């Protein structure tokens, strides 16, 4: 396999641009896809968000464009959202700058006249959302007859957003003799159907899930009760001092609540979700990118596919509903080589879900302890001292000298300054968080047991939980995942309790059946 960009045999101008962009070596998907794409072959590429798919198709498009450039656009890239279209066009413009190859984003929401003007001037690569592209085709402001390369970028998202018919319409306008590429984070069946209908013997390359969870992301979970989450969040923000933090919630309402509370407590936080207008969302994104706000609270949908380089922390305020969404969320940090931290809050009821995510995302999420009250206090005091120091050094406080002196006639300097601090920063108390030690630290600490009862015995998950907790005296929340098959089942229990469970359950009765239980042999999956 190729190891460096120069081994692809692409032009020096492009190599220089890539190096200006700070790319040192190709990512795995780039190593796999670029050589195939350069040969003009159709390609299906799968790799998680943040793995550099844009350049994987962008570099070959620009390299080939040098030969096939024409008056009309020679390549078109379809993307699901306006943000992505803009991002992709920017990246292509960077790669192509020394070749004089221009790309233009076209998307809904921007005045169409502005785009028509730019199109008129001549553009080599179109990056568009499907709806707006069709709009331009109808107005004949976009001519696709010279298109040689088509890319469906973030194809799974486009399907999720219902763009399939639009995409099919666009394909009708594009000459059959072309190169078609499809890139996606996941590969639902529907995508393969599109591939069959619109692609010519595509080569498929992919980066497996285990490699997708970018190794550079440190993953941890905290055990927190629902009502303690906001305090847990602020403790982490105070002590870890993240650069930019993205906080994920399930619902719009939760996003509003959490961002509102953070603002009340003096954090510089913003919110985005589907309920806001596009222009509000743009403004928030912009502020976040520039560091005008440090914390962005978002729903999955609103944060999809976005590439913000400096996010140091992703916090799952509510646990993601499935492993895919977990990977997508945490992929917002640790972008291209940087390290990142992904934190998940887990309530006692969600513990099993966490383990499922771990299993299917093929990753380990280890348990961490929240910063103590003492640590939080220290961190806050440090922060306050340094802002006071800054103010004193700038000398902006001197107008208050006379007032200070008058107050000192009545009160001690200690009282006056402490009162001023408490007025500014509120009570110095750090809220209590009830900490229970209930979960084992990692899936590694579980063992699987094999039981000789299953579905045909009319056994349900609840029966197994009940009988283990009753017979072995183990709280239900300590029992891991349970898999029921027809004639047998598997149950995960903390390793240190396994013997206790075996002794208690073996030869006991469950739904009128005698149960045998033992350590499971090797994993079946
Ligand atoms: P994806 O489409 O897979 O989600 P992007 O193409 O948006 O990922 O790339 C994510 C980030 O990584 C971008 O900021 C991009 O500029 C950067 N990037 C891409 N390729 C490389 C590379 N080879 N080295 C360093 N950074 C890269
Ligand atoms: Mg992408």
Q: Where are the domains of the chain?
A: 5-207, 216-367, 384-425, 446-524
CA distance 190 to 326: 22
432 contacts 372 by C-beta, under 8 angstroms: no
CA distance 370 to 65: 53
CA distance 216 to 50: 12
Pick the CATH number of 446-524 from 3.30.1240.10, 3.40.50.150, 3.30.70.330, 3.40.50.1000: 3.30.70.330
Kind plus residue range of the DSSP H or E element containing 218:
strand 217-223
Residue nearest to atom 19 of ligand 1 (CA): 52
Structure tokens at 315: 């916090």
Quote the ligand 2 centre to 357 CA distance (angstroms): 23
Ligand 1 binding pocket (C-beta < 6 A) is 23, 26-27, 30, 47, 49-55, 91, 307, 309, 335-337
Region at 162 (left for phi over 0; alpha for psi -120 to 50; beta for the rest): left
Architecture of domain 216-367: 3-Layer(aba) Sandwich (3.40)
CA distance 140 to 497: 71
The model scores a pTM over 0.75: no
CA distance 492 to 479: 6
245 contacts 237 by C-beta, under 8 angstroms: yes
Ligand nearest, relative to CA of residue 51: 1
Say whether 216-367 and 5-207 share the same fold: yes
CA distance 61 to 44: 15
Residue nearest to atom 22 of ligand 1 (CA): 23
**Over its length of 525 residues, how does the chain's per-residue pLDDT go in tens digits?**
667 899 999 999 999 999 998 888 888 899 999 999 999 999 999 987 778 999 999 999 999 987 776 789 999 999 999 989 999 999 999 999 999 999 999 999 888 999 999 999 999 999 999 999 999 999 999 999 999 999 999 999 898 888 999 999 999 999 999 999 999 988 888 888 888 899 999 999 987 654 555 556 889 999 998 889 999 999 999 998 888 999 999 889 999 999 999 998 889 999 998 888 888 888 898 899 888 999 999 998 777 756 777 888 999 999 998 887 888 888 888 765 567 899 999 988 888 889 888 877 777 788 888 999 889 889 888 888 988 998 899 988 899 999 999 999 999 999 999 998 888 877 767 878 876 545 555 566 788 899 999 988 888 888 888 888 888 888 777 788 888 888 899 898 888 888 889 988 988 888 888 899 998 875 433
Ligand 1 atom at minimal distance to the Cα of residue 22: 25
CA distance 496 to 487: 27
Pairing of strands 217-223, 340-346: parallel
Architecture of domain 5-207: 3-Layer(aba) Sandwich (3.40)
**Dihedral of the alpha carbons of 115, 306, 74, 192, in degrees to the nearest 10:** -130
Residues in a beta bridge with 493: 447
Ligand nearest, relative to CA of residue 18: 1
Tell which one of 55, 289, 309 to mutate to probe ligand 1, the residue whose CB is within 8 A of the most ligand atoms: 55
- In order of 100, 359, 479, 521, the CA distances from 448 in angstroms are 60, 13, 11, 8
């Amino acid at each position: 396999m190729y190891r460096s960009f120069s081994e692809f045999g692409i032009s020096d101008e492009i190599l220089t641009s890539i190096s200006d962009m700070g790319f040192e070596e190709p990512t795995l998907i780039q190593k796999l896809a670029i050589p195939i794409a350069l040969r003009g072959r159709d390609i299906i590429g799968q790799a998680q968000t943040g793995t550099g798919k844009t350049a994987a198709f962008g570099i070959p498009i620009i390299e080939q464009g040098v030969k096939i450039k024409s008056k009309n656009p020679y390549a078109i890239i379809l993307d699901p959202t306006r943000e992505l279209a803009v991002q992709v066009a920017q990246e292509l413009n960077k790669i192509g700058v020394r070749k004089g190859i221009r790309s233009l984003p076209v998307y809904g929401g921007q005045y169409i006249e502005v785009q028509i003007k730019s199109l008129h001037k001549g553009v080599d690569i179109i990056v568009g959302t499907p709806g707006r592209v069709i709009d331009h085709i109808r107005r004949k402001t976009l001519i696709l007859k010279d298109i040689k390369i088509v890319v469906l970028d973030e194809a799974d998202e486009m399907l999720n957003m219902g763009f399939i018919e639009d995409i099919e319409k666009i394909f009708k306008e594009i000459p059959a003799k072309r190169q078609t590429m499809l890139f996606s984070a996941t590969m639902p069946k529907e995508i393969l159907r599109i591939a069959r209908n619109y692609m010519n013997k595509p080569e498929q390359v992919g980066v497996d899930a285990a490699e997708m969870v970018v190794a550079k992301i440190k993953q941890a979970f905290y055990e927190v009760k629902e009502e303690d989450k906001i305090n847990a969040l602020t403790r982490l923000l105070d002590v870890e001092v993240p650069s930019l933090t993205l906080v994920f919630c399930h619902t719009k309402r939760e996003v509003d609540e959490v961002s509102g509370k953070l603002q009340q407590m003096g954090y510089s936080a913003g919110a985005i979700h589907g309920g806001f207008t596009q222009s509000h969302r743009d403004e928030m994104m912009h502020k976040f990118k520039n560091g005008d706000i440090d914390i962005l609270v978002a729903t999955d949908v609103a944060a999809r596919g976005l590439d913000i380089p400096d996010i140091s922390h992703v916090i799952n305020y509510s646990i993601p509903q499935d492993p895919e969404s977990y990977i997508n969320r945490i992929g917002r940090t640790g972008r291209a080589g940087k390290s990142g931290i992904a934190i998940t809050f887990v309530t006692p009821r969600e513990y099993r879900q966490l383990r499922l995510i771990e299993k299917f995302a093929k990753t380990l999420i280890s348990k961490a302890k929240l910063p103590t009250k003492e640590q939080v206090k220290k961190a806050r005091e440090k922060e306050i001292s340094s802002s006071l120091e800054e103010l004193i050094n700038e000398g902006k406080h001197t107008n208050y000298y006379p007032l200070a002196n008058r107050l000192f006639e009545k009160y001690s300097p200690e009282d006056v300054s402490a009162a001023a601090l408490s007025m500014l920063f509120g009570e110095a108390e750090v809220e209590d968080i009830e900490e229970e030690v209930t979960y084992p630290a990692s899936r590694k600490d579980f063992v699987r047991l094999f039981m000789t009862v299953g579905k045909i015995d009319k056994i349900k998950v609840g029966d197994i939980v009940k009988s283990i907790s009753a017979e072995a005296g183990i709280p239900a929340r300590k029992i891991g995942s349970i898999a029921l098959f027809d004639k047998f089942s598997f149950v995960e229990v903390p390793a240190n309790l396994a013997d206790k469970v075996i002794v208690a359950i073996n030869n006991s009765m469950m739904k009128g059946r005698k149960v045998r239980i033992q350590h499971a042999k090797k994993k079946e999956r």
